[in-house]
Structures are given as C-alpha cells and as structure tokens.
Amino acid sequence: MLERTKTIIKENWKFTVLIVAIFLLFKIELPYKIYAPGGMVDLTDRVSVQDGYTHDGELGMAYVSMVRGSLPFLAASYFIPDWDIVAKSEITYDNESFEETFKADQISTQQSIDSAIIAAYRLAGKEVIVEQEVVHVTHIDDQAQTGLKLFDVILSVEGESISSMDDLRNIIAKHQEGDTISMTVLRDDEEITVDSTIYLLDGAPKVGISITITYEYDESPEAVIETKASESGPSGGLMMSLAIYNALMEEDITGGKRIIGTGTIDIEGNVGEIGGVRYKLIGAVHEDADAFLVPVGNYDEAVEVAEEKGYDIPIISVSSLSEAIEALKNL
C-alpha cells in the first residue's frame, strides 16, 4: 500500500504541486483588503417589537462588501469595475490588529442598536428610560502613557463618574502636562484602578484614548434588533431606527416601497456621516431600491456616483431621524 502511494505521488507530483500552489495563492492574505459593492440587509426579519405592527414596505441597511486581499483577488480587482484595493493600514491603527479593530467596530454596532431603539421610542412617544451609559475604551494612541487596555470600561476618573467624552475632556482639561490621573475601570469583570499621564497634543491636554458609549435602558414594549457576528460598524443606525419606529406605528412610513439607506444615529436622533457610500449606493441599485437614504455629509458623493453610473433613483439627504420619516412620507 505504501509503495503504491509513493508511485501515485511520483506520477502526479506536478498536479499535486499545482493544487498546493493554487491553495496558497488564495489562502495567503497580503496587507490589503478590497472594497466592493455590497447589497442590503432586509430588516424585516431582524427587527421586532412586542405587539408591534407589520407592513408591506421594506427597510434595508446598505453595506460594503470586503474581499480578501489574496493575490488572485487583488489581480482581479484591476479588471472588475468598482473593486478597489485598500491598504489595511487605512482601516486599522498601526498599533492594533485587524481583530482588535473588528471588536471595536462590534462595540460601535451595539452603540448604534442602543441609539436606534432609544431615538425611535422617543420620537414615537413610547416609554424608554436610559438607566446607564457604558464607556468603552476602543482605541489607545501610540504616545499614550496609560495603564488602560483596549475594551476596558471606564467607571470614574479622579473619583468622578464618566458617561461621555465631554465628561472625560472636562476632567483632563483641569490638569497640566505630566500630571497623573487615576481611572477606575472594569476589566474582565474585575474593578481595578490604573494611572494615566497627561500629555499635550496641539496644545491641548490628552490621555490618548478614544471611547465608544453603549447604553443600558428599559423600553416598553420590548424591542429586539438582531445582527450577525460577522457584521460590525455603526452605519446601520439610521435604518435600524426607522425600522423600529415603523414597527411602533400603525402607518407604514415606507408607503409599501423598498427603502435602502445608510447613516449613523445617536440617541437624540441625529444622523451622521458614513464611509463607502459609493459601494452602498451601487448595491442599493442592484437590490432594486425605490429610494436611497443618505446622510447630508455624503449626499454630494452619492449624487456624483449616480450621475456617473446613470442611475435613476431618488437620493434623499437627511440629518435626523424625524427628517428621514417626513421625507419618506412625502416620497
């Protein structure tokens, strides 16, 4: 049996080498990613409200597809329209891995879910009580001199509770370069105290971190937004909030149409800019959207892409949740 196996390998070694080479070409990933047109996530089965309304229209989150940076795909990007190579350094910090960046984006996703629900309930006049703001450390600068670690939850600084970046900035602003401040954080379910040293950046005192805030809240009736583990980032906030609002209200704000869009949301209902609007608009058109919702800051780019591609689709620029709802009612 062993001799027969050796004979087969010898007779077919070229084919075996070819198969291994092809496998490695696809398996080995270079420090690049490829952005490509995506599609939409239909929120019909993702969003639910207890005893909520169902409607005929559709609300979908536009997304960007990300293709592996292996050599065959990188080569293909030179021939496939709208496949664009992006260096990993452009989408991750130098001192953080892709996995850490992805985890930070997942926290941003949770922030967008929380904000979407809170903003929708407030606008719909439904009961929602924000009980606590949870402050996550989602980036640490290279020059930071701190005992903080990524994904620590900041409880207090110098004995003062923290619930926003403004709270943190106000405390830091009281100190001088070289001062040490103490921070109480939750790390791996354990409450500990660490120190951070103040330094100057463009003349302003800093500790060198970025934070993302999620919320603990109680709403009635109960709402649920489901996401997949592979999904991350805050850009679905606007559409999730619209879907929640639509489920809370008897009138279908879509008018039975398929509405696809993108944009961040905060608990006050403000809509923020996103990245990759080009790929999202192309994907929305491929999904036969009746209209495309886009933040004000991304509107010009979206219109430019539509003109370049010859698209005949209403592009609606919005700056708030209430503005988006009124625009859809008037569509």
Please give the domain boundaries of the chain with CATH numbers for all domains: 37-67+105-126+221-329 (3.30.230.10), 131-213 (2.30.42.10)
If we measure between CA atoms, which residue out of 150, 151, 154, 149 comes closest to residue 132?
A: 154
Please write the tens of the pLDDT for every residue from 198-223.
998 888 889 999 999 999 999 999 99
- Number of continuous H segments (helices) and E segments (strands) in the chain: 9, 19
Q: Which residues contact 245 (CB under 8 A, 6 or more apart)?
A: 120, 123, 124, 253, 321, 325
In this structure, of 72-86, 158-172, 179-193, 262-276, the range with the lowest mean pLDDT score is: 72-86
> Which DSSP string corresponds to 305-331?
HHHHHT----EEEESBHHHHHHHHHT-
Tell me the average pLDDT of the chain: 88
Mean pLDDT of 25-35: 68
Residue 24 CB: number of other CB atoms within 10 A?
11
Which residues contact residue 188 at a Cβ distance below 8 angstroms, ignoring those fewer than 6 apart? none
Q: How confident is the model at residue 7 (pLDDT cuts 50, 70, 90)?
A: low
User: In terms of Cα–Cα distance, which of 233, 245, 238 is closest to 318?
Assistant: 238
C-alpha pair distances (Å), 34 with each of 4, 84, 173, 282 = 45, 5, 41, 15
**Mean pLDDT across the stretch 229-233?**
81
Q: What is the pLDDT of residue 78?
A: 81
- Angle CA(170)–CA(172)–CA(176) in degrees, nearest 5? 130
pLDDT over threshold 90, residue 184? yes
Instruction: Quickly state the pLDDT bin for 72 (edges 50, 70, 90).
Output: confident
Residues with Cβ < 8 Å from 79, sequence gap 6 or more? none
DSSP 8-state secondary structure symbol assigned to residue 82: T
Average pLDDT over residues 161-186: 89
Cβ neighbors of 223 (< 8 A, separation 6 or more) are 47, 48, 49, 50, 52, 117, 120, 121, 244, 247
Compute how many other C-beta atoms are within 10 angstroms of the C-beta atom of residue 201.
10
Helix, coil or strand: residue 24:
helix
For residue 305, pLDDT over 70 is answered with: yes
Is 80 exceeded by the pLDDT of residue 10?
no
Distance in angstroms (rounded) separating the CA atoms of residues 196 and 297: 35
Cα–Cα separations (whole angstroms), residue 207 to 95, 161, 211: 16, 17, 12
The dihedral sign for the CA sequence 265, 270, 275, 280 = positive
Higher pLDDT, residue 175 or 23: 175
Q: Are 212 and 221 in contact (CB under 8 A)?
A: no
The predicted pLDDT at position 68 comes to 75
Query: Would you say residue 259 has pLDDT above 60?
Result: yes
Predicted TM-score (pTM) of the model is: 0.87
Give helix 13-27 / helix 2-11 axis angle, nearest 10°: 70
The single-letter DSSP state of residue 88 is G
CA dist 211 and 205 (Å) reads: 16
Q: What are 205's two structure tokens? A: 């005192």
